[in-house]
């Protein structure tokens, strides 16, 4: 009696969970997958511009936010249609290796160096970013690095190189995690850190941290957008992906980027159409 009921309920369960699975995977509409960086997602930029794009084109954009290195790897594996990151050299290599079609400038923001308010390295009177990094290394204060191959991490390494310093030792802390987690760590220690301005502005758990150095050209942080090469991965939604890229570099898209502010401050500055230097 009961065993038969059991069998029936097992069958029912099987049927209903299959139904559940199908329901879960049923795609509501047209969509593309964009692999991007934590800085764009965490700052809230996508929340601001994507609804505008979707209203106009009906295409849903699903953003997977990762470090730049991981985002490019996602593109290389064919798991995203578009890559939107900020490490120009890596993006150009991505295109040169045949993984991406073409790189477009979209916007920039800048990096800032944040550190404890008492500024033990005395960065307010240094001239440029490389000198600032050297001052931190020489001061005995700690520095918290992303250490995750992200665009920010790449930019940081370039600054160390310019300063002629090999970052190593007890003062140099590689967190191996995202911008937010690294800032959380820097606030606790406290330590200096390099961060993009967007994440910094929207970051709330600052503790003693403030901006201690900004404004050098070396801290320029350009974002590029690349369509993943459909010849390498036929599953790439080239048409919709290109539509997104076209929109991002169009006047509408650029205006949308420019209109995104936090506390009245603009975070990203459109650069599409300008000759890249």
Partner 1 sequence: MTVPPSPTPAILPLTLDAASYAAGGQVLLSDVSVTITSGRRLVIMGANGAGKTLLLRLCHGLIDPTAGRRIWADGSARTAAQAMVFQRPVLLRRTVAANIAYPLALQGMAADQRRDMVARTLHRFGLTPLADRRARRLSGGEQQRVALARAWAMTPHVLFLDEPTSALDPSATRIIEDMIASIAAEGITIVMTTHDLGQARRLAEDVAFLHRGRLIEHRPAAPFFAGPHTPEARAHLAGDLIW
Partner 2 sequence: MEDPFATAFALMASGDPELRQIIGLSLRVTLTAVAIACMIGLPLGAALALARFPGRGALVVLFNALMGLPPVVAGLMVYLLLSRSGPMGGLGLLFTPTAMVVAQTLLILPIVVSLTRSVTEDLWLEYHEQLRSLGAGRLRAVPTLLWDGRVSLLTGVLAGFGRASAEVGAVLIVGGNIAGHTRTMTTAITLETARGQLGLAVALGIILMAMTLTLNAVAWGVGQWAKERLE
Distance CA 152, CA 254 (A): 23
Q: Give the three-state DSSP class for 67.
A: coil
Among 48, 52, 158, 180, binds partner 2 (CB under 8 A): 180
CA angle 184, 189, 195 (to 5 degrees): 45
Q: Which of 231, 268, 275, 239 is nearest to 253 (CA)?
A: 268
Q: How far is the CB of 76 from partner 1 (least distance, A)?
A: 56
Q: How many Å separate Cα 96 from the centre of its chain?
A: 21
204 in contact with partner 2 (CB under 8 A): yes
User: Of partner 1, partner 2, none, which one does residue 46 interact with (CB within 5 to 8 Å by kind)?
Assistant: partner 2
Q: How far is the CB of 27 from partner 2 (least distance, A)?
A: 8
Helix axes 88-96 and 68-76, enclosed angle (nearest 10): 10
9 in contact with partner 1 (CB under 8 A): no
DSSP letters of 74-108? HHHTT--SEEEES-HHHHHHHHHTTSEEEEEEEEE
Contact 225, 92 (CB under 8 A): no
| Binding positions for partner 2, 104-133, rule CB under 8 A | none
Span from 1-9, 31-39, 92-100, 234-242 in contact with partner 1 (CB under 8 A): 1-9
- Backbone torsions φ then ψ of 119, nearest 5 degrees: 45, 70
Q: With respect to partner 1, which residue has the nearer C-beta, 3 or 263? A: 3
* Total interface residues for partner 2 by CB under 8 A: 41
Prior bond of 92 cis (ω within 30°): no
Q: With respect to partner 1, which residue has the nearer C-beta, 8 or 62? A: 8
Contact 64, 36 (CB under 8 A): yes
Q: With respect to partner 1, which residue has the nearer C-beta, 11 or 96? A: 11
Q: How far is the CB of 2 from partner 1 (least distance, A)?
A: 6
Among 58, 93, 205, 239, binds partner 2 (CB under 8 A): 205
Distance CA 155, CA 220 (A): 9
User: Of partner 2, partner 1, none, which one does residue 1 interact with (CB within 5 to 8 Å by kind)?
Assistant: partner 1
63 in contact with partner 2 (CB under 8 A): yes
7 in contact with partner 1 (CB under 8 A): no
Distance CA 65, CA 233 (A): 21
What is the DSSP-derived secondary structure letter of residue 275? P
Distance CA 242, CA 82 (A): 8
β-bridge partners, 266: 261
Site string for partner 2, 4-23 (x = CB under 8 A): --xx--x--xx-xx--xx--
Among 3, 263, 264, 275, binds partner 1 (CB under 8 A): 3
172 in contact with partner 2 (CB under 8 A): no
2 in contact with partner 1 (CB under 8 A): yes
Residue ranges in contact with partner 2 by CB under 8 A: 2-3, 6-7, 10, 13-14, 16-17, 20-21, 24-25, 33, 38, 41-42, 46-47, 62-65, 76-79, 178-181, 183-184, 199, 202-206, 233, 235
Residue ranges in contact with partner 1 by CB under 8 A: 1-4
């Amino acid at each position: 009696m009961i065993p038969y009921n059991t069998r029936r309920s097992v069958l029912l369960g099987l049927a209903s969970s299959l139904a559940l699975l199908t329901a879960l995977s049923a795609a509501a509409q047209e969509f593309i997958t964009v692999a991007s960086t934590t800085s764009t997602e965490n700052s809230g930029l996508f929340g601001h511009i994507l609804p505008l794009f979707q209203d106009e084109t009906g295409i849903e954009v699903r953003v997977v936010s990762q470090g730049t290195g991981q985002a490019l790897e996602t593109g290389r594996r064919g798991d995203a249609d578009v890559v939107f990151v900020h490490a120009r050299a890596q993006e150009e290599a991505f295109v040169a290796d045949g993984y991406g079609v073409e790189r477009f400038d979209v916007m920039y923001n800048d990096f800032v160096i944040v550190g404890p308010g008492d500024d033990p390295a005395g960065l307010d009177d240094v001239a440029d970013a490389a000198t600032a990094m050297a001052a931190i290394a020489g001061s005995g204060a700690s520095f918290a690095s992303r250490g995750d191959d992200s665009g920010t991490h790449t930019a940081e390494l370039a600054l160390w190189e310019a300063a002629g310093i090999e970052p190593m030792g007890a003062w140099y802390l590689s967190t191996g995690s995202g911008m937010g987690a690294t800032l959380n760590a820097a606030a606790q220690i406290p330590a200096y850190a390099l961060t993009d301005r967007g994440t910094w502005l929207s970051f709330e758990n600052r503790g003693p941290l403030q901006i201690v150095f900004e404004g050098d050209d070396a801290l320029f942080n350009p974002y590029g957008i690349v369509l993943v090469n459909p010849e390498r991965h036929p599953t790439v939604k080239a048409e919709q992906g290109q539509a997104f890229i076209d929109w991002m570099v169009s006047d509408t898209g650029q205006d949308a980027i420019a209109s995104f502010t936090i506390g009245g401050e603009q975070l990203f500055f459109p650069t599409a159409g300008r000759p890249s230097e």
